[in-house]
Amino acid sequence: MATNGAGSDGNDDASNAADSSEGQDEGKDQNGEVGGLAEQMSELARSLQAEDDPQEILAHLVRAAIELVPGADEGSISAVTGRRDIQSQAPSSDLPRKVDALQSKVNQGPCLDAVYEHQTVRVPDLASEQRWPEFSRNAAALGAASMLSFQLYVEGDNLGALNLYGRTPHAFTEESEHVGLLIASHAAIAFADATKLGQMHDALHSRDVIGQAKGILMERYGLTAQNAFILLTQASSHTNIKLPDVAEHLATTGALPSHRRRT
């Protein structure tokens, strides 16, 4: 009897020890996954800081999202203006570009509706999605089976979103949303920085082109820098063409534009 009792207690102890060991192993696995993701996020942040080209920053974000978010096959960053016009930034293939164009064409879809109100929107199966029937049916025909969108910013009727696509239905899970939100937090900052950087590059380019155009006029007509600039602004006013475009035309063709642009 004593032996049986001891044997039973021994079995219980062994079972408890095995359960404890399994729990420890599972905890280690989870901690390893969290640590690995944190390291990947840190690496993403460092790589973004090293970039100074706006389009390359966005392309890097899209590549990272496709690599890290479970279920993601394609992706892009979509810039929506006026709740109607959608421009694909750094699309991974023609699929994201075509889907964004489709949303603009049919005037419906997650980027024109749900992402304005929700930080994350998951579309499990585009073939059977009823929220945007025309968009969903045509997006599925293009090859997008599921979709996951993250809001990057909202400014009035303008929006930035990270869109990910799966080529199979139900490709995205709660884990996909969790990882995607982490990337989106980096993307929101990087997108704003890339936009500002792009505007700065445009401003610098415009300044350089205007300087070239002024130099052409100064040499050609013996003008001062101030008078050459006045001549450019007069040409801009008479033709209804923006000053940088007038300067670009002169620097490229050697002549000032002579026709008023239609508005």
pLDDT digits (tens, 9 = 90+) for 46-69: 555 555 566 777 888 898 899 999
Q: pLDDT higher for 1 or 176?
A: 176
Per-residue pLDDT, 158: 84
CATH of domain 54-183: 3.30.450.40
Report the 3 state secondary structure along 99-125: HHHHHHHHCCCHHHCHHHHCCEEEECC
pLDDT at 168 over 90: yes
Rounded mean pLDDT of 233-240? 84
Per-residue pLDDT, 150: 92
Separation of alpha carbons 29 and 39, rounded Å:
15
Per-residue pLDDT, 28: 41
Residue that the structure tokens 């696995």 belong to: 29
Q: What are the pLDDT digits (tens) for 110-149?
A: 988 888 989 899 999 999 999 999 999 999 999 999 999 9
Under the banding of pLDDT at 50, 70 and 90, the label for residue 260 is: low
Please give the backbone phi and psi of residue 28, each rounded to the nearest 5 degrees, phi first.
-65, -40
Per-residue pLDDT, 263: 45
Q: pLDDT higher for 12 or 121?
A: 121
Please answer whether residues 164 and 72 qualify as being in contact, where contact means their C-beta atoms are separated by less than 8 angstroms: yes
Both tokens of 239, joined, read: 């033709």
Q: pLDDT higher for 76 or 12?
A: 76
Separation of alpha carbons 221 and 203, rounded Å:
27
Under the banding of pLDDT at 50, 70 and 90, the label for residue 250 is: confident
CA distances in angstroms from 143 to 54, 57, 128, 147, 169, listed in the order given: 29, 26, 14, 11, 11
Per-residue pLDDT, 121: 94
Both tokens of 22, joined, read: 């399994």
Query: Please, what is the average pLDDT of the chain?
Result: 79
Separation of alpha carbons 182 and 204, rounded Å:
33
Report the 3 state secondary structure along 151-215: EEEEECCEEEEEEEEECCCCCCCHHHHHHHHHHHHHHHHHHHHHHHHHHHHHHHHHHHHHHHHHH
Rounded mean pLDDT of 184-212? 66
In the chain, what are the domain boundaries?
1-50, 54-183
Rounded mean pLDDT of 177-185? 87
Tell me the Ramachandran region of residue 143: left when phi exceeds 0, alpha when psi lies from -120 to 50, beta otherwise.
left
Q: pLDDT higher for 254 or 205?
A: 254
Both tokens of 102, joined, read: 């489709």
Per-residue pLDDT, 56: 78
Per-residue pLDDT, 2: 37
pLDDT at 203 over 60: no
Please answer whether residues 78 and 86 qualify as being in contact, where contact means their C-beta atoms are separated by less than 8 angstroms: yes
Per-residue pLDDT, 45: 53
Per-residue pLDDT, 197: 47
Q: What is the model's pTM?
A: 0.59
Per-residue pLDDT, 200: 46
Q: Cβ neighbours of residue 246 under 8 Å, at least 6 residues apart?
A: 213, 232, 235, 236, 239, 256, 257
pLDDT at 5 over 50: no
Tell me the sheet residues that pair with 89.
77
Under the banding of pLDDT at 50, 70 and 90, the label for residue 32 is: very low
pLDDT at 7 over 70: no
